[in-house]
Amino acid sequence: MKVAGIEVSPDHFIGGERVASSSTFTDYSPIDEEALGEIARGGQREADLAVTAATEAFPAWAALGASGRAVYLHRLADLIDANVERLAPVECVDMAMLLRSLKARLINRGARNYRSYADLAVAYEERVWDSNGTHNRVLRMPSGPAVVITPWNAPFMLSTWKTAPALAAGSTMILKPAEWSPLSCSLLADLVDEAGFPPGVFNIVQGIGEEIGAALVSNPAVSRISFTGSPETARHIGVAAAKNIVPFTGELGGKGPLLVFEDCDLEAAARKAAGQFDDAGQVCLAGTRILVEESVVEPFMELFHRFADEHVLGDPRSDDTTVTPLIHRDHFERVAGFVERARANGDEIVRGGQPAERGGLFYEPTLVIPRSNDSEIVQREVFGPVLTVQTFSEEDEGVALANSTPYGLSGILYTGSSERAERVGRAIRAGTVWVNTFLVRDLTAPFGGIGISGIGREGGDFALDFYSDLKTLQIAEGTTE
């Protein structure tokens, strides 16, 4: 099939070969809701084939060592950089992320993921010490076949973010991309093949989560499971992992606070707050709960609306567009449902609050003043262009509001005080807190959530440790060869 003029295989990639299924599902473009093609719909058969291929390939891949595996990862990274003009248009049409962002940042970030984790694995320094008459070392042992299940937003980058440390650590892979945006991961399989990866090291299977996803996470031959998605799905995966005593990590979304204190650069804070509508709000790290100190709420809101007015709803392939359509008709109805329930609850809709006039899957950037902090619109993740705004009078009250949901993925804080930055930054319960900035990521830093935002950490050595079994080797002093 051809998408954006690029040939894309609709089949799985298992054991180094393309594999079809007896049934398919239809993939639609969010841009116009037109069908892009019929995609192989895997189930128990394909899950078993992929796990078997990964299991058989594991011993040789593990035996290569970090330096041997790094050769393949660097080769794959180079191919990603060389194919940005193929990957970006396909993901744009399939997921409706801004084409300019994909070309400028996100696809190349995939290449950086593979290079960074390859180099981190090679540079690993064993912990070495002497005690109780023994010489001690901590060794990383590759854990075995790993299942990675990725979300529909930024699918290429997030797939590389998860698979890179797994491969670098010596695991073999079964990647299951989201059914709403599987195509850029199919292109990734082509690059894996071109990079010469041994058959079975990197497998990609497509399908519906309740079908092939469930079959993968329940397979007792799987040694690790990594998932990004909803807390509801994570609970099912966690049960399956627990039955087989398999380590599981999950990044499960957020409801991040964006605190604005009176001593901050108010214009910068308002611009960043209005920027949370980017990508139609389909960003788990977004600061969707705007919390403003009462003394500056009026000038802040004036600036916020001014910057929000600059947004342009449109085709993600256009350089003018800032707000894109939502991913799927089902998700559109979910977002609209949140706003309608908020309206019925007595929450005040001060901006937007309805489907956009241009139709399709576009929803107006929406701002809500909730009737109370218990409102559903405050307490649950919407994952759309919907923000709330609340006020506080004292720092402690602002922190309490920031920590008042069951989520804890990220937070944003704007202040001109270094003391407050340290104090409030420590007090906010979240896996990542940004002060006077947003979405700046260091690949060596831990990443993950608190509460229902997730379990475990990704990033740097934290990810490499997850995909490894750690061993303490103790050798008595005086032992001779």
| Residue 395 shares a structural domain with residue 456 | no
Q: What gap in Å lies between CA 461 and CA 446, rounded to an integer? A: 8
| Residue 247 shares a structural domain with residue 264 | no
**The pLDDT of residue 131:** 94
**The pLDDT of residue 481:** 58
Tokens describing residue 274? 């209005």
**The pLDDT of residue 394:** 97
- Residue 275, domain CATH: 3.40.309.10
| Residue 384 shares a structural domain with residue 469 | no
| Residue 373 shares a structural domain with residue 235 | no
| Residue 422 shares a structural domain with residue 460 | no
Burial of 260 (0-12, 13-18, 19+ CB in 10 A): buried
pLDDT, tens digit, 9 for 90 and up, residues 422-462: 999 999 999 999 999 999 989 999 999 999 999 999 999 99
In a domain, 442, yes or no: no
CA distances from 476 to 67, 133, 473, 479 (A): 29, 6, 10, 6
| Residue 429 shares a structural domain with residue 287 | yes
In a domain, 46, yes or no: yes
User: Taking 90 as the threshold, does the pLDDT of residue 69 lie above it?
Assistant: yes
**The pLDDT of residue 363:** 98
- Residues 204-231 have a mean pLDDT of 97
| Residue 16 shares a structural domain with residue 160 | yes
Q: Which of 251, 364, 381, 458 is catalytic?
A: 251
User: Taking 90 as the threshold, does the pLDDT of residue 479 lie above it?
Assistant: no
| Residue 49 shares a structural domain with residue 120 | yes
What lies within 8 Å, CB to CB, of 105 at 6+ separation is none
In contact, 256 and 382? CB cutoff 8 Å: no
| Residue 204 shares a structural domain with residue 350 | no
**The pLDDT of residue 448:** 95
What's the whole-number average pLDDT of the chain? 97
Q: What gap in Å lies between CA 97 and CA 404, rounded to an integer? A: 31
| Residue 242 shares a structural domain with residue 269 | no
**The pLDDT of residue 441:** 87
User: Taking 90 as the threshold, does the pLDDT of residue 464 lie above it?
Assistant: yes
Percentage above 70 pLDDT, the chain: 100
pLDDT, tens digit, 9 for 90 and up, residues 386-427: 999 999 999 999 999 999 999 999 999 999 999 999 999 999
Question: Where do the H-state alpha helices sit in 96-206?
Answer: 99-101, 107-122, 155-169, 183-194
- Residues 38-43 have a mean pLDDT of 98
Q: What gap in Å lies between CA 237 and CA 233, rounded to an integer? A: 6
In a domain, 42, yes or no: yes
Residue 284 known to be catalytic: yes
| Residue 190 shares a structural domain with residue 274 | no
| Residue 262 shares a structural domain with residue 296 | yes
Burial state string for 151-182 with b = 16 or more CB within 10 A and e = fewer than 16: bbbbbbbbbbbbbbbbbbbbbbbbbbbbbbbb
* Residue 26's pLDDT band (cuts 50, 70, 90): very high
- Does this model's pTM top 0.85? My answer is yes
Residue tagged 């260091």 (tokens) = 442
In a domain, 28, yes or no: yes
Domain that holds residue 7: 2-252+449-473
- Residues 81-86 have a mean pLDDT of 98
Q: What gap in Å lies between CA 338 and CA 386, rounded to an integer? A: 9
- Residues 284-308 have a mean pLDDT of 98
In a domain, 326, yes or no: yes
Q: By mean pLDDT, which of 36-40, 126-130, 142-146 is the weakest? A: 126-130
In a domain, 479, yes or no: no
In a domain, 443, yes or no: no
User: Taking 90 as the threshold, does the pLDDT of residue 478 lie above it?
Assistant: no
Residue 251 known to be catalytic: yes
Q: What gap in Å lies between CA 452 and CA 380, rounded to an integer? A: 11
pLDDT, tens digit, 9 for 90 and up, residues 336-382: 999 999 999 999 999 999 999 999 999 999 999 999 999 999 999 99
Q: Which of 92, 185, 264, 284 is catalytic?
A: 284
- Residue 130, domain CATH: 3.40.605.10
Looking at the 3D structure of the chain, how many domains does it have? 2
In contact, 393 and 294? CB cutoff 8 Å: yes
